[in-house]
A = this chain, B = another copy of it.
Amino acid sequence: MTGKKAVVILSGGLDSTTCMGVGKEAGYELYPISFHYGQRHDREIENAKKVASYFNVTEHKVFSLEFLKEIGGSSLTDQSMEVSQEGVGEDVPNTYVPGRNTIFLSIAASYAEAIGAEKIYVGVSAVDYSGYPDCRPEFIEAMQQTIYQGTNANPAMTIEAPLIDLSKGDTVKLGMKLNVPYHLTTSCYLGGEEACGECDSCRLRLQGFEEAGATDPIKYM
């Protein structure tokens, strides 16, 4: 352990759990944060807690962002909207939560500054993704500048997005190499005990394991 701290935005899904493995491998003391933003199901948060305890972290914060439910504009937070299942297409799917990653990263930066962490890990990918604008390298670069300019940390903290150029298959290969506990993770937008296998998130996940030549350890309907 380097004695240095890293904040990890941990959703309890495949990508963010892989980031926990990458941060640990890099020798950081991990400070995961999870967000309760009125997403359709609490399962994610339960999985995030299991992943955090698997990594034996010092502290795991779960922050309530109920205001995102009030803002709405996404099928993930507005129960009256149906979760799109048409696969990744031209338009941004209605599971996009307006500006979500900007909010997550700004809170992560505030927390990192308060605890003296030098890294913020975020599991965005711009290869196999649903087309969300806040998963692209251009966004991460702009957010990095905003954190440099908007915080008083010295040295300034930096964002690490280790999966941004990886396909889902490459992410799974990386995670398996690092013995990441995929059996503790969940990805399905519907949040049932068993994954639906049909929403965009399940499709991308299954594709990843197939590419990696591995079997997904979680249960499907």
Contact = CB atoms under 8 A, between A and B. Distances in A.
SS class of chain A's interface: helix, strand, loop or mixed? helix
Interface in A40-62: 61
- Chain A interface size, as a band, is 35 or more
A106 interface: yes
A158 interface: no
A193 B183 CA distance: 56
Contacts of A142: 142, 145-146, 148-150
B143 A99 contact: no
A63 interface: yes
Nearest to A114: B73
A145 B145 contact: yes
Given A64-B66, A133-B151, 12 more contacts: A71-B107, A72-B114, A97-B110, A98-B109, A99-B106, A99-B113, A101-B150, A102-B150, A102-B151, A142-B145, A143-B149, A145-B146
Interface of A: 61, 63-68, 70-73, 92, 96-103, 105-107, 109-111, 113-114, 132-134, 136, 138-139, 141-143, 145-153
